[in-house]
Amino acid sequence: MRSRLVDAALTLLQHQGAAALTVRNITTRAGCSTTGIYTYFGGKNGLVDAIFSNGFASFDQALDPFLDEGDLLGAGQAYRRWALAHPMQYMVMFGRAVPDFEPSDAGLERALVSFSKLAAGVRRAGIGGDADHRAHHIFATVHGYVMLEMAGMAPPLSVPIETLYLHALASASEPIRPPGQTVN
């Protein structure tokens, strides 16, 4: 039953958006009454929190193969691919798409796990410099690009966004070279 509720919420989220994610919609689709959400998740927040943690798990599953080998470019592409394939879930995780939802402490810890995996991947890539700083930079860049693309804020460009994304990714994950500091 617990999984039926999560599944119903996920399909509802993916097909009809966050606005359709109401307690009544979810429960009727799952085949139970509104109280089901409260007995199993303690409320709507709990269910969304499950989706939140779930998202990071699926996320890691997509990125781990690349990060385990220190392949930052591959990981970055997998990041974008996952986000574009699960836009609603991505917005729940990073964009506060569900009104009044705040991730629990457990959910936030789960998110930190994903970040530390990225930092470990950066360390494994042997790029030099502070791995945490680099991970932060890569994350910010990638997140910024994906967010803008998902928001439809891509300006008129003569080149597919994917190309720009790859350039930015390459710049952000290039090894340090002491004197010359150039980009692009």
Partner DNA sequence: AGGCGGACGTAACATTGTTATGTGAGATAA
Partner DNA sequence: TTATCTCACATAACAATGTTACGTCCGCCT
Which CB, 38 or 115, lies closer to a second copy? 115
105 token code pair = 């402490």
Subset of residues 41 to 100 that bind a second copy, contact rule: CB under 8 A: 91, 94-97, 99-100
Identify which of 49, 35, 24 has the alpha carbon closest to the alpha carbon of residue 1: 35
Largest pairwise CA distance in the chain? 66
Which CB, 22 or 163, lies closer to DNA? 22
**Footprint on this chain of DNA (rule: CB under 7 A):** 1, 21-25, 27, 31-40, 43-45
Q: How far is CA 65 from the centre of its chain?
A: 16
For position 182 contacting a second copy by CB under 8 A, the verdict is yes
- Residue 81 binds which entry of a second copy, DNA, none, CB below 5-8 Å type-dependent: none
Secondary structure (DSSP) of 28-52:
HHHTS-THHHHHHHSSHHHHHHHHH
- Identify which range of 52-60, 62-70, 71-79, 175-183 contacts a second copy by CB under 8 A: 175-183
**Shortest distance in whole angstroms from residue 131 CB to a second copy:** 10
**Shortest distance in whole angstroms from residue 88 CB to DNA:** 15
| Residue 123, amino acid | R
For position 155 contacting a second copy by CB under 8 A, the verdict is yes
Which CB, 37 or 138, lies closer to a second copy? 138
Q: How many separate helices (H) and strands (E) can be counted in the chain?
A: 9, 0
| Interface size with a second copy, residues (CB under 8 A) | 52
Identify which of 133, 177, 40, 36 has the alpha carbon closest to the alpha carbon of residue 49: 40
Phi and psi at residue 183, to the nearest 5°: -140, 155
Which CB, 15 or 159, lies closer to a second copy? 159
Contact predicate 128/175, CB 8 Å: yes
**Shortest distance in whole angstroms from residue 58 CB to DNA:** 23
- Residue 15 binds which entry of a second copy, DNA, none, CB below 5-8 Å type-dependent: none
Using CA atoms, how far apart are residues 62 and 46, in angstroms rounded to an integer?
25
- Residue 17 binds which entry of DNA, a second copy, none, CB below 5-8 Å type-dependent: none
